[in-house]
Amino acid sequence: MKRNLVLVDMDGTLLMGRSLKMLTVAFGLEGDLQAIEQESLAQELTEREKLLRITRLFKGQRFEGLASVFDGVPLTPGAPAWARTLHSAGHAVHIVSESWQPLVERLGRRLAVSAVWANGLEVKGQRVTGEIQPPLWPENKPRSCWRHSVCKLHALHYLAKRENIPLEDTIAVGDGATDVCMLREAGLGVALNPKAEQVAQVADMVVYGDFYDLADRLAPHLSEACRV
């Protein structure tokens, strides 16, 4: 059986909503988030600078409190069955996200994925310090990646090499602007409920619906064992 590398975005894709936005709501930080978003527009902050400002809003908070809120963010219907079926069939499934790795890892364990690729969150004494550590970046960072806090294109190439899977046997699933490069370069780029026209334009396949719909559309590209 052909083995695929499947990279899937988290916020707005696996999750029905944006986890960090929901955390700011839960902790009464909506006004602070709005101020950061306005500052981002006025000063053209990079996504990493924006994420760092958001992270610092939670400085001193106990991580378990954040995790409890995160665990309550609803999953897109069909996501658990889809991820576990692919994993059980021997495919390498990775979550790639600009969110905080300790949270993404919690979701990864729930879905039984191979691994996650996200921003490190510094936690000391079980409390958030307000600092982040981006994941591995390419030596020659593409200009298009400078604004992002995670280079999902690099994740695609790095993980394909690590898993010893040809690029033509990779599948990327996402919905937003940070997913464009990996959707364009993957063997099969899938826009699931794309949030911008650019995302739909670069994808090989556009799916509107949930992961049950996605599973049906992907079935011809995977083995019989991967049908949800």
Domain that holds residue 180: 5-19+71-226
CA distance 52 to 35: 14
Is residue 113 assigned to a domain?
A: yes
Domain count, the chain: 1
Is residue 40 assigned to a domain?
A: no
Is residue 183 assigned to a domain?
A: yes
Is residue 150 assigned to a domain?
A: yes
Q: Render each residue's pLDDT in the chain as its tens digit; 228 residues.
A: 688 999 999 999 999 999 999 999 999 999 999 999 888 887 778 888 899 999 999 999 999 999 999 999 999 999 999 999 999 999 999 999 999 999 999 999 999 999 999 999 999 999 999 999 877 655 565 555 556 678 899 899 999 999 999 999 999 999 998 999 999 999 999 999 999 999 999 999 999 999 999 999 998 887 544 545
Is residue 205 assigned to a domain?
A: yes
CA distance 58 to 190: 33
Give the residues across from 206 on adjacent strands.
Answer: 191
Angle, vertex CA 131, rays to CA 126 and CA 133, nearest 5: 105
Q: What are phi and psi of 147, to 5 degrees?
A: -80, -20
Is residue 45 assigned to a domain?
A: no
Three-state DSSP class for residue 200: helix
Q: Which helix (H) or strand (E) holds 121?
A: strand 115-124
pTM for the full predicted model: 0.90
Is residue 27 assigned to a domain?
A: no
pLDDT of residue 149: 76
- Label residues 131-170 b or e (16+ Cβ within 10 Å = b): ebebbeeeeeeeeebeebbbbbbbbbebbbeebebeeebb
CA distance 203 to 192: 9
pLDDT of residue 225: 44
CATH number at residue 179: 3.40.50.1000
Is residue 31 assigned to a domain?
A: no
pLDDT of residue 156: 95
CA distance 142 to 153: 9
CA distance 8 to 11: 10
Q: What are phi and psi of 60, to 5 degrees?
A: 90, -10
